[in-house]
Amino acid sequence: MTIIEIEVDENILREAEKALNIIGMDVQIAVNIFLRRVAIEKGFPIPMTAPVTSQRENVDIQEEGEKEPMYQIRYNNTITAKMVDEVWLAFLRCHKGYDTISNLKYAIADNSGMNSGSAFIYLNILTKLIKGEPNTRTLKMKDLEYFMGKIKSELGLKEYQNAKESLKTSIPYWREKLAGSFAEDVEKNLNGIWKN
């Protein structure tokens, strides 16, 4: 392992940290991913285009007379408790077979302002948890703790045991591929608050 030191504008770093926090990542992980992509692609892995001028996501051009855009403009760079609640409600619809993740990610964006990409990731993580399948994606620990409580209280023991198995089988991947303490925090919770 090599330690590098770089100079970054404080405002850019702060904004990058906020954006990365949304997807359960930190700056160190992002830099590692970026450098790996450079090595794999043998060049700069990000298209060099005009700068982004808007934070609108999935907003269709409004027809004359329309009052609201099809999908909300996202002003909040942080995943909020309302967004997490909205993910859980949408996940229950998916789990019961009433809708698909592809559709529900937009409903979550409409109802809470959460980025549809983040909603898609959260829904997929939940699906893998209750199936007992390993996850390569992560989310904020407090959101994972919330979802584990919901799985246990609302879905039952079988799904809760599957979720714990999913986490156990995911730890080696997270430990190897991710910087930070996410794997250790999950392991600590599996031996603590999620033990029973």
| DSSP, res 3 | -
Taking alpha carbons only, the member of 122, 126, 123, 136 closest to residue 170 is 136
Question: At residue 45, what are phi and psi to the nearest 5 degrees?
Answer: -85, 0
pLDDT, tens digit, 9 for 90 and up, residues 71-109? 444 444 588 899 999 999 999 998 988 888 888 898 898
Residue 48 confidence (pLDDT): 54
Highest-pLDDT range among 10-14, 19-23, 45-49: 10-14
Lowest mean per-residue pLDDT among 10-14, 59-63, 73-77: 59-63
pLDDT, residue 77, reads 57
Give 178 or 162, the one with higher predicted confidence. 162
Query: 63: exposed, middle or buried (C-beta count within 10 Å: 0-12, 13-18, 19+)?
Result: exposed
What is the number of alpha carbons within 13 Å of residue 126 lying toward its C-beta?
A: 30
Distance CA 163, CA 149 (A): 11
Mean pLDDT across 9-30: 83
Q: What are the extents of the domains in the chain? A: 10-41, 81-190
Which tokens is 94 given? 């998916």
Read off the pLDDT of residues 122-163 as tens digits, 9 standing for 90 and up: 999 999 999 999 999 989 899 999 999 999 999 999 999 999
CA 38/CA 50 separation, integer angstroms: 20
Mean pLDDT of the chain: 81
Measured CA to CA, the distance from residue 192 to residue 148 in angstroms comes to 13
Cα(132)–Cα(163) distance, integer angstroms: 5
Non-local (6+) Cβ contacts of 175 within 8 A are 183, 184
Cα distance between residue 174 and residue 157, in whole Å: 25
Rounded to whole angstroms, how far apart are CA atoms 51 and 185?
37
- pTM (two decimals): 0.62
pLDDT for residue 58: 40
Tell me, what amino acid is at 167? Answer: L
pLDDT level of residue 47 (50, 70, 90 thresholds): low
The predicted pLDDT at position 186 comes to 94
